[in-house]
Amino acid sequence: MIIVMEAHAREEDIQHVVSRIKELGLTPHLSQGVERTIIGVIGDERLIQKDQLSLLPHVENVIPILKPYKLASRDFKQTDSIIDVAGVKVGGKNVVVMAGPCSVETEEQLMITADAVKAAGALLLRGGAYKPRTSPYAFQGLGEDGLKLLAKAREKTGLGIVTEVMESPDVDLVADYADLLQVGARNMQNTKLLRALSKIRKPILLKRNFSATLNEFLMSAEYLLSGGNDQVILCERGIRTFVEYTRNTLDLNIVPAVKQLSHLPIIVDPSHGTGRHDLILPMSRAAIACGADGLIVEVHPNPAKAFSDGDQSLTPAVFQQLVMEVKAVANAVGRSLS
């Protein structure tokens, strides 16, 4: 449930309600609006009688949140959340482009790509050091050596780093290097990993599993939020359907649907969403037109030689074209490319 405090409630009134919630064995989450404070109450609501809290001084209203996700819902927070990733603001009016190779392969490959995506207008550099591959015989990533190369690329270009963490024991190590920690589609419901990530003070990019419903997607975000990490960016990356002409079906419906139900920003990954380099530009334009807060795109200096996902990687020149086109669409829908 959420507790709406009166507009003139003072800090001590808010703290009084907060301590009452804790006495009841529940967890309070504060959301400080421009006008008033809202307190989300998380836990077993059977422990609480609605009236116990609504009678406290300066409580204006107590409203049950009927959705299964609470802190992720717009009922809890009406205004769009803006997530700060190494100084880059994701959400609100901004459209942010993140780009880089699927996998970090070599220093040369990463530095060439980092320089190119920066020159084209990307603000964050993506690159996998731990790769969730379908085949155990495929390239699994460089591990910590890959993370070190990403840190080097950040030093050289100033771009913040987005990289995947696959297992909970790796969370601290990856958090030492990354500015935005990616939870891959296969791990969206790895609750142990989500709980570990909820305890760190770095933002999380939560990718939708290819068979997850909207409800399941937001429930995974709820794991992060309820554990104490409210820096969450959602990512649509395509779902499994019967079609065989693309790797996945990019479900752009989910972008405006998430916007109705949640305050969290959502970006789109047209690379995994299509699996085809020739479809990435039109789907990127479509993603921004329907309200996405950004894109994450795979770029490789020589896609034919990529260790992973070459078919869906853009050359730097095509990526530059993508940024120009996306900028025009962003402006047309009242957003701006930051």
In the list ligand PEP, Mn ion, none, the entry touching 184 (Cβ below 5 to 8 angstroms by class) is ligand PEP
222 binds Mn ion (CB under 5 A): no
Torsion sign (Cα): 277, 279, 283, 285: positive
Residues 6+ apart with CB under 8 A from 71: 29, 40, 42, 77, 222, 225, 226, 230
* Residues contributing to the site for ligand PEP (CB under 6 A): 102, 128, 132, 184-186, 207, 237, 272
Q: What's the closest the beta carbon of residue 11 comes to ligand PEP, in angstroms? A: 43
Q: How many CB atoms lie within 10 A of CB 92?
A: 15
* SS3 at position 160: strand
309 binds Mn ion (CB under 5 A): yes
- Phi, psi of 56, rounded to the nearest 5 degrees: -65, 150
- The residue of the chain with the least Cβ separation from ligand PEP equals 184
Q: What's the closest the beta carbon of residue 210 comes to ligand PEP, in angstroms? A: 8
Q: What's the closest the beta carbon of residue 329 comes to ligand PEP, in angstroms? A: 23
269 binds Mn ion (CB under 5 A): no
For Mn ion, which residue of 18, 98, 102, 281 counts as binding (CB under 5 A)? 102
**Angle 281-283-284 from CA coordinates, rounded to 5°:** 65
329 binds Mn ion (CB under 5 A): no
Closest CA to 150 of 177, 168, 123, 171: 177
Burial code of 43-63, b = ≥16 C-beta within 10 A, e = fewer?
beeeebeeeebeebebbeebe
- The residue of the chain with the least Cβ separation from Mn ion equals 102
205 binds Mn ion (CB under 5 A): no
Q: Report which secondary-structure segment, H or E, holds 192.
A: helix 191-198
Closer to ligand PEP by Cβ: residue 62 or 296: 296
In the list ligand PEP, Mn ion, none, the entry touching 237 (Cβ below 5 to 8 angstroms by class) is ligand PEP
Q: What's the closest the beta carbon of residue 312 comes to Mn ion, in angstroms? A: 7
Rounded distance between C-alpha atoms, residue 270 and residue 263, angstroms: 22
Binding mask 52-91 for Mn ion (x = CB under 5 A): ----------------------------------------
Q: What's the closest the beta carbon of residue 257 comes to ligand PEP, in angstroms? A: 19
Q: How many CB atoms lie within 10 A of CB 40?
A: 23
Positions that interact with Mn ion (CB under 5 A) = 102, 309
